[in-house]
Amino acid sequence: MENSEELCLVCNDISSGYHYGVPSCNGCKTFFRRTIMQKHIFVCQHEKNCSVDRSIRCACRYCRFEKCLKVGMDRSALQASRDRIGYTKRTRKPKRKEVSFSSSSSMSPQNIFYPESPGYAQKAYETYWSYVASREKASNELRLSAYAPKRSLKEALCSKSLLNDPIFLSNHMIVSSRHTYTELRFITQSDYHYWHERDWFVLTEYAKTFKVFNELSYNDKAALVRHAAITIPSLNQVYNSPDHGPDTVVFPDGTYYDRTHEPTRPAGLNRKKYQVLDLVLKPFREIEIKFNEFAAFKAITFLNPDADVSYLAKLAINEERVAVTKQLYAFMIRNDGIEKAIKRFSRLILIGTSMSKMACESKEAVWIADFFENIGYTSFAKELFFGERNSEEE
């Protein structure tokens, strides 16, 4: 206390307290721990008498470590490694303001032009399912990755799907450290927000993997994606949630929701939550939906001719939808036999009605929420839900 600032005995930097028995700075503390934990053995390039000082402490790790020992750092103060604590950066206390417009938006909408990949047409059974499965797999990997571009709805819908771009896939499909967890934590408004944005982004890339989608007009594309904006994210959330009991949906970052009423959210969104639990999660678990089945069901849900699209678009979408449905049924027959297949198939397809209702009610809830500014949607989300100010229907 007498001296406001004690110095690190190793390097003379300002000490951040006593570590391993010695007043020391953060750097030397961490260096000491890591060296021991990782059992590093350094070699001095000189005479084992390098000076260790704030400015040059990293120059010779051998001498730095020797200095640590010499000033009395105590290896026995090291503990057994602890449980992981999960992602920290994002929950950091905000500095003050953190506007940071910096991020150079104009550049890097790179390779919008990629040759149309030709492989869509041939739908032999195996080919069909391998495509469905790889679409679903890639979609989920994208969801787990850290990649999240900022762009307008039009850019999002008219570019080529990242999921069809092998170069992108090999470069970016790494699970973000944010999307792992060691602890569940009840979801907050800002978590909902994060996952909405993320799932909407993934939805746009998902949509563009459908040939029929890419052939629509921009307005129809927007309408179809808008119509799917509640259901597809919900399906992703439910299917990919680890099983923590029948009434809990867990996100990849360990946030979860359950039946707890959340009074700060609009009533419509609370209701949606119960619908998801009762009418989607529960049946999925009961019929033990398989990966391919889920992938097909998601496609069927996406290809919804009820969206406010043009009449011709409805026809095209429905045609594709029926084709997928037929494949799904064939798949189930193969695996379950006809007796069981029909039961599971019916059960699964009937979930569609629940999805439909949910989408409709939630859209309304979203509208109301936005009206009362309960929820801070981004401009992308607003564009998605409400269309652009110009050139939209109704």
Partner DNA sequence: TCAATAGGGTCAAAGGTCCG
Partner DNA sequence: CCGGACCTTTGACCCTATTG
Q: Could you list the residues that contact a second copy (CB under 8 A)? A: 39-43, 45, 55-56, 58-61, 79-84, 110, 181-186, 245-246, 254, 256, 267, 275, 278-279, 300, 304-306, 311, 314, 321-322, 325-326, 329-330, 338, 342-343, 346-347, 349-350, 352-357, 359-361, 364, 394
> Sign (positive/negative) of CA torsion 93, 3, 52, 35?
negative
Neighbours of 17 (CB within 10 A): 10
The stretch near DNA (CB under 7 A) out of 15-23, 150-158, 297-305, 344-352 is 15-23
H-helix or E-strand spanning residue 384? helix 379-386
| 347 is a site residue for DNA (CB under 7 A) | no
| 30 is a site residue for DNA (CB under 7 A) | yes
| 61 is a site residue for DNA (CB under 7 A) | yes
Q: Which of 49, 88, 103, 108 binds DNA (CB under 7 A)?
A: 88
The answer to whether 20 and 75 are in contact (CB under 8 A) is yes
| 99 is a site residue for DNA (CB under 7 A) | no
Distance CA 209, CA 231 (A): 17
Nearest to 322 by CA among 339, 304, 310, 295: 304
For residue 134, the minimal CB distance to a second copy (Å) is 24
For residue 144, the minimal CB distance to a second copy (Å) is 17
Closest CB to DNA among 76 and 110? 76
Residue numbers 159-218 binding DNA by CB under 7 A: 177-178, 182-183
**Which tokens is 127 given?**
């080919």
Q: Name the binder of 88 from DNA, a second copy, none, CB < 5-8 A by kind.
A: DNA
| 27 is a site residue for DNA (CB under 7 A) | yes
Distance CA 30, CA 281 (A): 45
Q: At 250, give phi and psi (nearest 5°).
A: -110, 135
Nearest to 180 by CA among 79, 116, 251: 251
CB crowding 337-348: b at 16 or more within 10 Å, else e: eeeebeebbeeb
Q: Name the binder of 350 from DNA, a second copy, none, CB < 5-8 A by kind.
A: a second copy
Closest CB to DNA among 25 and 132? 25
| Residues 6 or more apart in contact with residue 58 via CB below 8 angstroms | 64
| 391 is a site residue for DNA (CB under 7 A) | no
Neighbours of 270 (CB within 10 A): 18
Q: Which residues in this chain contact DNA in the complex, by CB under 7 A? A: 13, 16-21, 25-31, 33-34, 37, 40, 57-58, 61, 77-79, 81-93, 177-178, 182-183
